[in-house]
Homo-oligomer: A and B are copies of this chain.
Amino acid sequence: MAHGSVLSSGAAETIVKGETGMKIGMIGLGKMGGNMATRLARAGVTVVGHDHSPEVVSSWVASAGIVGASSVDALIAALPAPRVIWLMLPSGPITEEQLVGLSQRLAPGDVVVDGGNSNYHDSERRAALLAEKGIGFMDAGTSGGVWGLENGYCLMVGATPEVARQVRPFLEILAPHPERGWAHVGPVGAGHYVKMVHNGIEYGMMQSLAEGLALLQGKTAFDLDLAKITDLWGEGSVVRSWLLELTADALRKGVDWNQMAAVVADSGEGRWTAIEAIEQGIPAPVLSLALHLRFQSQDRDALTFKLLSVMRHAFGGHAIQASGQ
């Protein structure tokens, strides 16, 4: 059976190998998973992909030359043991459910890689669950966003040495370079831990940049051009960074500020980083503040601020601004 078709259970044996002879299962073909499957397929890996949406599977089959699987069972059947199955799913119950299902269906010697943004405590627990069945586990913190397809992904992996050896050939393809851009940073859990902290740092760096740009914008007397300045800082300055480059690109293309709500989402990893700092008793004031500022942006009622106005009125008779003004 050729690339470009969707397998149903039972049709597995006939799969055509990619050029490298390497095979991998990819569960979850969203923006990240689909792009990673594509990067692997382009490198000659046979990627058997599954997603809960058949349309999504078909779309990647057509565009990326992966082999589609209509079910997890079909995906498992399409891969010879020992298998490597990569999960690229939203963290939380969806990942949990797949992990538990795989623990019941895979064979000893198979390996499950969780490339999603799972909490490292969950990864430690899940690795223990799979280990009872002789199944290996790797937590692979994955950074690179929508740019990873072309540039490669930064992969921070936690696993036993044996599992790391088994998955290594795939990491070498997914990373920007075979020898760089991925690293086996420690035991199970360490990969997601390092990715978590990475995202915590990301929050702080983003907030730092944004505050600075707001200070440029605020100095109206100078009529500063933010696109020009962020572009300038990309050359030789101390703050040059990928986030700065992306910001410069976006500003150059133009942003319609009026169409945007001043609301910033946060994600599990930013929160977990802040909680980890508290539980370890390690000072992380700026990373934590960057998170709380996102909460502030999400807080439509802003009871805190209203309470401050109430207090000011109470002790000083200061006027309270009416809503809608």
Contact = CB atoms under 8 A, between A and B. Distances in A.
Contact count band on A = 35 or more
Contacts of A235: 152, 154, 175-177, 180-181
Contacts of A197: 212, 215-216
Contact of A181 (B211, B236, B325): B236
B238 A145 contact: yes
Given A212-B201, A264-B309, A185 B232 contact: yes
A153 B160 CA distance: 46
A206 B311 contact: yes
Oligomer copy total:
4
Contacts of A313: 250
B257 A306 contact: yes
A94 interface: no
A211 B286 contact: yes
A224 B144 CA distance: 21
Interface in A231-253: 231-233, 235-244, 246-247, 249-251
A247 B297 CA distance: 25
A161 to B, nearest CB: 14
B216 A265 contact: no
Nearest to A247: B311
Interface in A193-247: 193-194, 197-219, 222-225, 228-229, 231-233, 235-244, 246-247
Given A224-B185, A224-B194, A308-B264, A211 B284 contact: yes
A219 to B, nearest CB: 6
A241 B205 contact: yes
Interface in A248-292: 249-251, 255, 257-266, 271, 273-292
Given A198-B233, A204-B286, 6 more contacts: A144-B236, A175-B235, A213-B307, A240-B242, A283-B299, A297-B305
